[in-house]
Structure 1
Amino acid sequence: MTSNGPGTRRELNRQATHQAIVDAALQLLREGHGTAITATQIAEIAGISRRTLFNYFPSVDAILSYPLHAVLEHMVEALTPLTEHLPLMQALVRALESERVTVLLGQVAQFGAYLRRQENGTCYPPNFIAWQSATGEVIAKIASRYPQTDAYSIRVFTHAILGAGQAAFDTWIDQLPEPDASGLHVSDELISSFHRLITRAMETLDAGFNSLPLTAPNSLKED
């Protein structure tokens, strides 16, 4: 017989507080606060003190980028058992199917949608910065889990998957409908669309580009 010890309860409470903070930030963005949300507002909605919030996150930007870092960390953690019986890229696509990744990608999508700049339709810069700053984290984690792999191959692989993910994110942002007077409602269907684009990006990496029509017709061919 097993029971939940203090460590387990502590971790569950910590995860719940993380989620409450992220949910509070999302709520503020849905209400139209845009990029002006403050730590005080987030803490109030999450039902915690500012001090507690800063024990979890050093800044509001860190809250906004948390789902992205969390999904990348979870993906790396999920790769090890999957690669025991699947090629690496197929394992990556399989990891995208997990419930946890689905939830986190939904949060990444919602932050990107709510924080895009109205004047030019692009996404709020910290999302791009966070995506790129995650490169070093992913490289370090993959290197520690696959020490037999050379550093160069790890770097190429990491930049490839992050770049493909960024391409999927940019495409999704471009396809979003224009917000109405009440703002933009990020429906489950829109989040599913983002998830499909991410999966398709990874499948494209796995399949390679030989099948794509990348050769332009020779318009300068002599008669």
Structure 2
Amino acid sequence: MTESAPTDLRERTRRVVRQQISETATQLFIEHGFAATTIEQIAEAAGVSRRSFFRYFPSKEDVILGELVERGPLVADALAARPEDEPPWDALRAALLSLRQSRAQDDRAELEIGRMLYETPTLRARHLEKQLAWESLLVPVLAERIRSTAQNAAIDPELQASAIVSGSLACLDVASKTWILGDGARNLTQLYDEAVAAIRR
């Protein structure tokens, strides 16, 4: 057995327990509401101690939003892998869609979690914080793409990349809110495309 084997096993075990806590908490949030669900209830239902809960999640909000942070580097990698000649808006759209398409979708659960995000002030504030973290990852990648293909030397790649990333994430936020308020009746990707088209006109 190699030296890294015990470490790998511990990491796999940690991921399994973290996922178990996350799934248990999400179910409790859906059944009882975010505010009404306590950390003690989550820990008991997941079969861990309250102290153990905090080894995996800094707060109750991070149970919902932790995965959002983890997706950021995946989107950045997908963006970097797009064809060099692809327009910036299109490349970013494809990167965002690749992440959604790579995950198993449970629209009903996503709707319930989405409602929590918009109806719970602490979750909403943390969500915006995580969105800023995505921007810090995506802007340098997009700026480099713009820099490598720019025809106009006067163009500011960082400024353009910041505007496109901020605009795209704002459109995603608007599309998600519309999707949630409409109880998932409309296609989320189509809503995002319509929002982007509105600001690119």
TM-score normalised by the chain length of structure 2: 0.71
Stretches of structure 2 lacking an aligned partner (at least 5 in a row) = 148-156
8 Å CA contact retained: 1:67, 1:104: no
Contact 2:69 2:134 in 1 (8 A): no
- Report the residue type matching 1:44 in the other structure: E
Is the counterpart of residue 205 in structure 1 residue 196 in structure 2? yes
Corresponding residue for residue 80 of structure 1: 80
Report the CA distance shift for 1:106/1:202 in structure 2 as closer, same or farther (over 3 A).
farther
- Deviates further, 51-60 or 130-139: 130-139
Letter in 2 for 1:125: P
Are the structure 2 counterparts of residues 78 and 97 from structure 1 closer, same or farther at C-alpha, using a change threshold of 3 Å? closer
Alignment of 1:173-188 (within 5 A): 173-176=180-183
Describe the shift of the 1:205–1:135 C-alpha distance in structure 2 as closer, same or farther (beyond 3 A).
same
Q: 1:160 corresponds to which letter in structure 2?
A: G
Partner of 1:13: 13
Within a 5 Å distance, the mapping from 1:100-119 to structure 2 comes to 100-103=102-105, 108-113=110-115, 115=116
Q: Show structure 1 runs of 5+ residues with no match.
A: 117-121, 177-189, 211-223
Q: Which of structure 1's runs of 4+ aligned residues deviate more than 6 A?
A: none
Q: Deviations over 1:133-159 (max 9, x none)?
A: 124312321245456454322321221
Partner in structure 1 of residue 55 of structure 2: 55
* Residue number in structure 2 paired with 1:158: 165
- Provide the rounded CA distance (Å) in 2 between the counterparts of 1:75 and 1:128: 21
Of 121, 131, 141 in structure 2, the residue corresponding to residue 125 of structure 1 is 121
The answer to whether the aligner puts 1:168 opposite 2:175 as a matched pair is yes
Kindly provide the amino acid, as one letter, of the partner of residue 175 in structure 1: G
Return the TM-score normalized by structure 1: 0.65
Give the Cα–Cα distance (whole angstroms) in 2 for the partners of residues 19 and 13 of structure 1: 10
Aligned residues: 185
**Residue range with higher mean Cα deviation, 28-37 or 92-101:** 92-101
Secondary structure at 1:136 match in 2: helix
Contact 2:78 2:98 in 1 (8 A): no
CA distance in 2, matches of 1:18, 1:199: 33
